[in-house]
Structure 1
Amino acid sequence: MPILFYVDDSRDDLFYIDYIRKKQKVDVDLFCFSTAQAAFEALEERLERGEGVPDILIADLYMPLDSGSGLIARLRGEGRFSAMRLGVCSGSDAAEDRERALAAGADFYLEKPLDFASITGNR
């Protein structure tokens, strides 16, 4: 079963992604975090336990302490996270936001609301 880390400072968006996962019956282990630092620490803990990295990590572009693109750039800078597909999501459809996310190292950019099944390839 694929493992997905989702990082968003909005409790509503965290609730929504889990709701959609259940509603669409998407077969994925979902781990939600409200800060980039909490997600990064969880990644390090997984590696320390020998569990490996998740298949996908998606981070919200606009968060107060650390942007999604900042987290993506940090992860891209460390080889131990190279196996993960990294994405940035936002309510913004601005080309500049998409370009900034991809320049930081994101594999993809998603607009909210997310289509959960298309993220994981499960339908």
Structure 2
Amino acid sequence: MADQSEHPGNILLVDDEPGLREAVQAYLEDSGFGVQVASNAKEGWEKLQQSTPDVLISDIMMPQVDGFTFLKQVREDPRFQSLPVVFLTARGMTSDRIQGYNAGVDAYIPKPFDPEELVAVVSNLMGRRAAQTQTSGDVPDIAAMARQIEEIKALLTQRGSIAQTPAPIRIDLTPREQSVLDLVAEGLMNKEIARRLETSVRNVEKYVSRLFSKTGTNSRTELVRYALEHGLVTT
């Protein structure tokens, strides 16, 4: 399987209009992006739990849960606070745009739209995010990260005394997720893991986020403790 970093980026498209959803998906895929689709906010939220995209594109006018409510749910989750979000919608009033920006949307494209403009906006957001990742790496929370590394090393010294029990739910890890988990359990930072696996820091962050989601943990220390208790670490 090709590494995700070989593609321009991955997009989650949430829109309840099948025709538009299929057309936008086809155009984005023709432009080289990987695209997952969801027909409503609930399905979109489920897709986010499975894999964090590089950009989220969402309609506003959707049944049951509208785009503003969906965006609020996304922004309240620490994993997705920096996820670029684009509103693609027929609502183009200034008040709607202000509401969107206040809710944390990064770009707002009213329908009908020029597909090339959408690609340009998405590419720009991905480029800015990649630049921020390369510049900051592990720096923004380096104190907390260092503390967790020390906690993980302390856990490893107690490894033999940690009682193992079956995981409460079946957890299936991909080979790459398992590799990342093993390296996190060694106390390595994202940059070090990226070097070991010959991938990008951004991809490592995605895998760590997926591991948090699959195990129901919120920090690297919790993740390693959970993995040790349930026999998920292979090294």
> 2:73 aligns to what SS in structure 1?
helix
Structure 1 gaps of 5+ residues are: 47-52
Question: Where does residue 121 of structure 1 map in the other structure?
Answer: 123
C-alpha deviation, 1:3, in angstroms: 0.6
Aligned length: 114
Is contact 1:69-1:106 (8 Å) kept? Answer: no
Same amino acid, percent of matched pairs: 24
Q: What does residue range 53-64 of structure 1 map to in structure 2 within 5 Å?
A: 53-64=52-63
Q: What does residue range 52-91 of structure 1 map to in structure 2 within 5 Å?
A: 53-91=52-90
Q: Which is helix-richer, 1 or 2?
A: 2
In structure 2, how many angstroms separate the alpha carbons of the residues matched to 1:58 and 1:18? Answer: 11
C-alpha deviation, 1:10, in angstroms: 0.6
Q: What does residue range 21-40 of structure 1 map to in structure 2 within 5 Å?
A: 21-22=28-29, 25-40=30-45
In structure 2, how many angstroms separate the alpha carbons of the residues matched to 1:69 and 1:77? Answer: 12
TM-score of the superposition, structure 1-length normalised?
0.83
> 2:32 aligns to what SS in structure 1?
coil
C-alpha deviation, 1:20, in angstroms: 2.2
Q: Which is strand-richer, 1 or 2?
A: 1
Structure 2 gaps of 5+ residues are: 1-6, 125-235
Larger radius of gyration: 2
In structure 2, how many angstroms separate the alpha carbons of the residues matched to 1:91 and 1:61? Answer: 8
TM-score of the superposition, structure 2-length normalised?
0.46
Instruction: State the one-letter code of the partner of 2:57.
Output: I
Is contact 1:9-1:63 (8 Å) kept? Answer: yes
Instruction: State the one-letter code of the partner of 2:85.
Output: L
> What is the CA deviation profile of residues 82-121 of structure 1, one whole-angstrom value per residue up to 9, with x for unaligned ones?
2310121111221111111111111111112342322322
> 1:54 aligns to what SS in structure 2?
coil
Is contact 2:13-2:25 (8 Å) kept? Answer: no
> 1:13 aligns to what SS in structure 2?
helix
Runs of 4+ in structure 1 deviating by more than 4 angstroms, as ranges, are: none
Is contact 1:55-1:83 (8 Å) kept? Answer: no
The answer to which structure, 1 or 2, has the higher relative contact order (CA under 8 A, 6+ apart) is 1
In structure 2, how many angstroms separate the alpha carbons of the residues matched to 1:120 and 1:102? Answer: 16
